[in-house]
């Protein structure tokens, strides 16, 4: 004879609802990864261009982590990633990738600024001789100079010119040499990543690497937390399940409700559940449930104690957030 699922507030492992410990969609995940890569580039690019206007220490990486977290959330949803650790790792990669794009943007910006400097220098020298040239002619002179000095023209030639300088300054070239040079030059506490002529003492050398490491951790871990949190949402029958509020319990009845609920007497607990009333006084218990369908007897129950704000601090507390058998008995009030 088949046994009846217990009426209790304990997790029910027999249901098909998954929360944070499942797999992923074989078809959806590759598409989601492409979206994640594009999103990481977009966030890193946005951080770079915004930093040219203003860069707030810690605050800018936090905001970028929030944006990258949105990308990670989208990746989890599309890829149907139900494993929190995998979702966290994907978020970390997206956040770290976005930060890498930001730093690479700074490198390329310096490379291109060299070209602007050389073009202006050419125009100034020609003007001193009473000669004027079109932009195309100036570009031709610049490329001729780059070919003579480096054997390459265009952006590649500009990169090699920068490499000559970096090799002399920090004994390294390319992006790594650029990072070493940035660390050597340092930055002020008012403008991250840029040297300044103000009187604030610069952060240099080892302190620079530590600060960059903190920024990287903020973006990587912050984005990972977004992804891991989204993966913990209920999932069943190939789709994510939304939480639906179904009632509340007045503060004076909260202890009686929790006592009956935790002892497995759902019928008794249901007697003190009231319809949702946004204007009812606090404190109170707010009840939400996620079920695979309206006829399902099992679901994920979330019980939150809502309390008045004290000095702008929200002290709402989740008292219960697990899968429950026969949760539908709470609706029979």
Q: Show me where the domains of the chain are located.
A: 20-232, 239-331
pLDDT (0 to 100) of residue 207: 84
User: Please, is 204 exposed, middle or buried when counting C-beta atoms within 10 Å of its C-beta (0-12, 13-18, 19+)?
Assistant: middle
pLDDT (0 to 100) of residue 333: 55
Place of tokens 């026969």: 326
pLDDT (0 to 100) of residue 258: 93
pLDDT (0 to 100) of residue 20: 56
User: 160 φ, ψ to 5°?
Assistant: -70, -35
User: Please, is 57 exposed, middle or buried when counting C-beta atoms within 10 Å of its C-beta (0-12, 13-18, 19+)?
Assistant: middle
**What span, in angstroms and rounded, lies between the C-alpha atoms of 27 and 65?**
27
pLDDT (0 to 100) of residue 98: 97
Q: Are 272 and 257 in contact (CB under 8 A)?
A: yes
Look at the alpha carbons of 120, 125, 129, 134 in this order and tell me if their dihedral is positive or negative: negative
User: Structure pTM?
Assistant: 0.77
pLDDT (0 to 100) of residue 237: 75
pLDDT tens string for the chain (333 positions)?
333 343 444 444 344 566 656 677 888 889 999 999 999 999 999 999 998 888 887 889 999 999 999 999 999 999 989 888 999 999 999 999 999 999 999 999 999 999 999 999 888 888 888 778 888 888 898 989 899 988 888 999 999 999 999 999 999 999 999 999 988 887 765 544 444 445 555 777 788 899 899 999 999 999 999 999 998 888 877 788 888 999 999 999 999 999 999 998 988 999 999 999 988 898 999 999 988 887 788 888 999 999 887 555 557 888 998 888 888 888 765
pLDDT (0 to 100) of residue 12: 43
Q: Are 151 and 105 in contact (CB under 8 A)?
A: no
**What span, in angstroms and rounded, lies between the C-alpha atoms of 318 and 302?**
7
DSSP 57: T
**What span, in angstroms and rounded, lies between the C-alpha atoms of 60 and 132?**
44
């Amino acid at each position: 004879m088949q046994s009846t699922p217990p009426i209790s507030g304990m997790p029910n492992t027999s249901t098909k609802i998954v929360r944070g410990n499942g797999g992923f969609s074989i078809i959806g995940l590759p598409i989601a990864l492409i979206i994640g890569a594009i999103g990481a580039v977009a966030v890193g690019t946005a951080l770079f261009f915004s930093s040219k206007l203003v860069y707030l220490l810690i605050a800018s990486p936090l905001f970028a982590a929030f944006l990258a977290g949105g990308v990670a959330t989208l990746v989890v949803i599309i890829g149907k990633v139900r494993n929190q650790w995998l979702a966290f790792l994907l978020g970390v990669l997206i956040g770290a990738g976005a930060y890498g794009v930001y730093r690479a943007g700074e490198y390329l910006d310096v490379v291109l600024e060299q070209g602007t400097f050389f073009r202006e220098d050419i125009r100034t020298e020609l003007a001193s001789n009473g000669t004027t040239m079109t932009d195309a002619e100036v570009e031709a002179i610049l490329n001729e100079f780059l070919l003579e000095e480096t054997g390459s023209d265009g952006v590649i030639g500009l990169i090699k010119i920068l490499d000559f300088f970096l090799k002399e300054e920090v004994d390294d070239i390319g992006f790594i040499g650029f990072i070493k040079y940035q660390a050597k030059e340092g930055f002020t506490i008012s403008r991250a990543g840029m040297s300044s002529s103000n009187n604030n003492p610069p952060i240099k050398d080892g302190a620079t690497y530590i600060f960059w490491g903190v920024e990287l951790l903020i973006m990587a871990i912050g984005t990972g937390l977004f992804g891991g949190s989204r993966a913990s949402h209920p999932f069943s029958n190939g789709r994510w399940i939304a939480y639906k509020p179904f009632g509340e319990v007045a503060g004076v009845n909260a202890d009686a409700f929790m006592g009956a609920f935790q002892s497995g007497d759902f019928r008794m607990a249901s007697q003190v559940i009231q319809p949702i009333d946004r204007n009812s006084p606090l404190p109170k218990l707010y009840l939400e449930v996620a079920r695979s369908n309206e006829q399902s007897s099992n679901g994920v129950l979330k019980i939150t104690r809502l309390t008045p704000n004290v000095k702008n601090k929200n002290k709402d507390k989740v008292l219960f957030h697990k899968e429950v058998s026969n949760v539908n008995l709470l609706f029979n009030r």
